[in-house]
Amino acid sequence: MPRRSIWKGSFVDAFLFRIKKNRESLMSRKIWSRRSSILPEFVDCSVLIYNGKTFVRCKITEGKVGHKFGEFAFTRRRRPYQTNRGKGRKGKK
């Protein structure tokens, strides 16, 4: 996948760009912009990221800087493979 040009810088939504200076307003804030990059100013904040249905709480650490918010709010459920398909198939031949 092609990356964004270095001279453009990382993409940050205008909403997040305005509140990055005020850390208190970012604490437990709802974020709909999954495509925005995580900046170093967001470290040690807890945010709610929208996954398409609900909001997922995410604590921002130094290792997450440079990634996108959407990487940490999964949109699909993980279900283990079920070997037993129910009672209906057990007694039939």
For a pLDDT cut of 70, what percent of the chain falls above it? 80
pTM: 0.73
* pLDDT (tens digit per residue) in 3-38: 778 888 888 888 887 877 676 667 778 999 999 999
Domain ranges of the chain: 28-75
With cut-offs at 50, 70 and 90, classify the pLDDT of residue 54.
very high
Three-state secondary structure string covering 5-71? CHHHCCCCCHHHHHHCCCHHHHCCCEECCCCCECCHHHCCCEEEEECCCCEEEEECCHHHCCCEHHH
CATH level 3 topology of 28-75 = 30s Ribosomal Protein S19; Chain A (3.30.860)
Task: State residue 17's pLDDT score.
Answer: 79
With cut-offs at 50, 70 and 90, classify the pLDDT of residue 79.
confident
Task: State residue 49's pLDDT score.
Answer: 93
